[in-house]
Amino acid sequence: MSHDGCHEVAWKGKAFPYLMHHPNFHSTENYGSMREAAGASAGHSQAHGHGYGRQPLPSEQTGSDVHSRAGTGTWNGPAPRGAQGAASQAGAGADAGPVKEPDSVRLANGVRLPLIGLGTAAIKDPEIIKSALQVGYRHFDCAWFYGNEEIVGRGLAEFISAGGRDELFVVSKVWNTHHRPEAVRRSVEESLSKLGCGHLDLLLMHWPEAWTPESSFSQPVTDTGVTISETWAAMEALVDEGKVRALGVSNFSIKQVEELLSSCRIRPVVNQVELHPLNAQRKLVGVLFRMGLQCVAYSPLGGQSMIKPNELLNNELVARVAKEAGKTPAQVLLKWNIQRGVPVVTKTSNPDRLAQNLEGMYDWKLSYEQKAALDSLDCGTRFIDFDWKCWADPEEGGVAKPSKVMGL
């Protein structure tokens, strides 16, 4: 993987014009190229990045950053740090005017996933689900562990009975105490019964940690009697039976995904992870996309202060960008992910915020400068973190940075 833009390199400007630190970088087709923004018309903006005449991805539309540059999950604009002079080449008005952004991405199985979904954790009233449906939500993120799938099912029931099931994208997850094959089946059948949706559009392995059945969240005990491969095989059997349409994972590192891909029969299509400007995880997003996995962002607003205080939603820089864009801080944070082609799962029980988080979100874009400002916040801060979880080195897996290989 090429240099990540965090530090200038010793050979800056000496050679390799296709690399980002060369003075002529922005005249070439590569990461950060502003060729189209600087001179191309709106009808000729398909050739982003290293495509060299390739056919556009299904999720690409004219003028959008979504999955440009072969879907790296990074901005069609500035690197996280460095290349500070690039913005001036684009011009302040490069992103001005009305736009129509894509509202979904296409998964590896050909199914389209709405870019904005509703997280159902802590929802206690089916009326919230009904309100979400009325506003236009079709992507619902559920989990056995949330303990409220019956409530979600009651909220979905009328819509489904009216023939709307095919419009929905319903997700559930296998909890840590259910990794043994018989428990996988039992938990999914329980979820299907409570949700009343007939099948799951996507089933995720909630965490790559297996716990014994008697474990609690505060006192987990590792289950050494089951492997990730065995759990996955049990999930694959549910696809064979038509109870589940696609499989994915959650909270997996690049290396853990690589290990799963080496043994699975049905490939995962999603990795749901914590993604926001304080925890951008660019290598994870980009490398997995090239492996055929779409990252989906949970806690895109930085969490709800249930575990850690939310230092993002009220961040001064976020507030400034929101004021410039004429949007709320929440809208800006959601846009930061969906504009780079990463679907978000946002949680709220407030009817006004339900609408704010969805309506009109595809009719505008963050400017190049606004994206660069939000990028600068990246520091690896997580809001969903527990004593029992040991996070992998973010550089582990994929292709190592030259600086890491050389021990710099």
- Positions annotated as catalytic residues are 146
Residue 380: CA atoms inside 13 Å, Cβ hemisphere, count? 7
Counting other chains too, the contacts that 62-69 makes at CB distance below 8 Å and 24 or more residues apart are 63/99, 63/100, 64/99, 64/101, 64/102, 64/339, 65/339, 65/340, 65/341, 65/365, 66/101, 66/102, 66/105, 66/115, 66/338, 66/339, 66/340, 66/341, 67/105, 67/289, 67/341, 68/341, 69/31
Q: What is the pLDDT of residue 83?
A: 41
Element (H, E) at 238: helix 228-240
| Tens digit of pLDDT at every position of the chain (408 positions) | 444 444 555 555 555 555 555 555 444 444 444 444 444 444 443 333 333 333 333 334 334 455 554 344 444 444 444 444 444 444 444 444 577 889 999 999 999 999 999 999 999 999 999 999 999 999 999 999 999 999 999 999 999 999 999 999 999 999 999 999 999 999 999 999 999 999 999 999 999 999 999 999 999 999 999 999 999 999 999 999 999 999 999 999 999 999 999 999 999 999 999 999 999 999 999 999 999 999 999 999 997 656 677 889 999 999 999 999 999 999 999 999 999 999 999 999 999 999 999 999 999 999 999 999 999 999 999 999 999 999 998 888 888 777 676 676
pTM: 0.79
Q: What is the pLDDT of residue 64?
A: 46
Q: What is the pLDDT of residue 56?
A: 39
Cα angle, residue 309 at apex, residues 303 and 313 outer, rounded to 5°: 55
Q: What is the pLDDT of residue 395?
A: 85
The residue behind tokens 């410039």 is: 324
Element (H, E) at 181: helix 181-195
CATH 2.60.120.330 is right for the domain spanning 104-361: no
